[in-house]
Structure 1
Amino acid sequence: MAQGDVFEAVSRRSVVLGAASLCVLVAWPRVDEALHPGGPGRETDSPALRHDVDPQGVTRVRTSRRWVALTFDDGPDPRFTPDVLDVLRTYGCRATFFAVGSNVEAHPDLARRIVAEGHRLSNHTHDHVWLDRVDTDTVADQLIRGRDAVAAFDPTGGRLVRPPRGWTSRSVARSTSELGMRSVYWSTCLESALHDGPAVAGGAVGAVLGPGDVLLAHDGGRVVGPNPQDLDRSRTVEALPVLLERLRRRGLVGVPVQDLVASGTPH
């Protein structure tokens, strides 16, 4: 999954877009069908698999605007979110933060700042639960509680949801739709390119993003609950200015995914 600003354009595009299908942090074992009540027994680790079970989900948008959706997951996190916000402000970009509800409740000051600076808060479940591995009641509970945590700061932001890891199923998609929500996935993932270092990754990803793309990055490293994690996102913070500078030079503007969806036809 390596990227490089010095790579040839074709090589760069093939590697970055290949990485987009799998923005995960470690390899996780497959789940037996019997232990997978929420879905078909396979992780949806590619855009094709996600579209197969959730055709209404958003991966890209056909748009006439030179816009790229900037999205950040797993926050807010006081170690990294303030720095991400500072970089976005420097480059005049806005973004959608798919926030974990329990993190929003733990850090209301950061949630408040996100919205005050023109960004959107959206739903990443309440406890970062892998929705395709739980029953439908738990799916609904996680989506509703995540939505409500976000709604305290962004009243309509929770209508868009990103399933943790992008793992979904027909059952999860049905529950999401029944709650009046829509799932948002991604076309390119910044962290999948960090193997070659932040500067190279930022330049490479910034070079291949195009109008209508949805970028996934992470402002949060710490999550408590059933799937705990404690990760260092400082390399993402380092890569972000390089990426945004490349977008600016190419005449592309970073916007919340809500704005991108409203500008065209999601697919």
Structure 2
Amino acid sequence: MYLVKTPWLLKRLYPELIWNVNQTNRCIYLTFDDGPIPIVTTHILNILKQYNAKATFFCIGDNVSKHPDIFKQLVKDGHSIGNHTYNHLKGWKTDKETYLNNFLQTDKVLDTPLFRPPYGRIKKQQIKALQAARPDIKIVMWDVLSGDFDINLKPEACLNNVLKHTEPGSIVVFHDSLKAFDRVKYVLPRAMEIWSNAGYEFYALPV
């Protein structure tokens, strides 16, 4: 069970988190979680280049260590980089100290203020611990969840999810993972073409 559009109540409960960006401009903030990995991340980078688009990649530290060349390409292409923990930890099932140490392990490699909690699950005490460890941290959530990770979701339905709910300033979540690949490779170029024709531009989240 997951919500495609983040409800306003959740945003009010966690006002210290970033849910969307400036809503006065026709800009969309595409984000990709769980990479970098071969084939999938590279495929996404090629699509983004076609539209002269910048995006934000929330990287798992272990994947960066395994695939440094792909990570370097992300940086070379001018995309923003975010921390997604070293081992994709679920905050609700992880104690504060373990969570913080896992974050810091990745922070040593990426050195970025952008952070997204895996699964969007994080405790208040973990938020405070991260803020204390890195005062400039920006904990980024989203207002549109594509559902590309859902293996039971048809690509056409995934496309409808993002087209129906994305608006100016939206932070949209995709995944550069094998699990999501069938959907993201279908949805991303089609959605970007429609958005581009509607006058939208694609920006990376500011660091």
Flag structure 2 segments of 5+ consecutive residues without an equivalent.
none
> 1:161 touches 1:183 (CA, 8 Å); kept in 2?
yes
- Secondary structure of the 1:191 match is coil
Aligned-residue RMSD, C-alpha: 2.4
Distance 1:134 1:71 in 2: 24
Partner of 1:48: 9
How much has 1:118 moved relative to structure 2? 1.2
Q: Which amino acid aligns with 1:214?
A: I
Q: What count of residue pairs does the alignment treat as equivalent?
A: 204
Partner of 1:184: 140
> 1:84 touches 1:237 (CA, 8 Å); kept in 2?
yes
Q: Which amino acid aligns with 2:120?
A: G
> 2:61 touches 2:83 (CA, 8 Å); kept in 1?
yes
- Secondary structure of the 1:56 match is coil
Partner of 1:71: 31
Distance 2:52 2:87 in 1: 31
Question: Does 2:171 match 1:214?
Answer: yes
Structure 1 residues 112 and 193: CA distance shift in structure 2, 3 A? closer
Q: Which amino acid aligns with 1:236?
A: V
Question: Does 2:105 match 1:124?
Answer: no
Question: Does 2:104 match 1:144?
Answer: yes
> 2:4 touches 2:161 (CA, 8 Å); kept in 1?
no
TM-score, normalisation: structure 2: 0.88
> 1:58 touches 1:185 (CA, 8 Å); kept in 2?
yes
- Secondary structure of the 1:126 match is coil
Q: Which has the larger radius of gyration?
A: 1
> 2:148 touches 2:175 (CA, 8 Å); kept in 1?
no
Partner of 2:203: 255
Distance 1:232 1:69 in 2: 19
Question: Does 2:199 match 1:245?
Answer: no
Distance 1:18 1:130 in 2: 18
Distance 1:170 1:75 in 2: 26
Distance 2:118 2:197 in 1: 32
Structure 1 residues 192 and 19: CA distance shift in structure 2, 3 A? farther
Structure 1 residues 182 and 232: CA distance shift in structure 2, 3 A? closer
How much has 1:199 moved relative to structure 2? 4.2
1:201 to 154, 158, 161: 158
Partner of 2:183: 235
Question: Does 2:124 match 1:170?
Answer: yes
Give the percent of matched residue pairs that are identical in Structure 1 and Structure 2: 26
Distance 1:131 1:251 in 2: 38
Question: Does 2:52 match 1:92?
Answer: yes
Partner of 2:41: 81
> 1:71 touches 1:98 (CA, 8 Å); kept in 2?
yes
TM-score, normalisation: structure 1: 0.69
1:114 to 74, 85, 100: 74
How much has 1:57 moved relative to structure 2? 0.4
Distance 1:211 1:237 in 2: 23
Distance 2:11 2:97 in 1: 21
Structure 1 residues 183 and 56: CA distance shift in structure 2, 3 A? same
Distance 2:149 2:162 in 1: 7
> 1:176 touches 1:182 (CA, 8 Å); kept in 2?
no
Structure 1 residues 108 and 97: CA distance shift in structure 2, 3 A? same
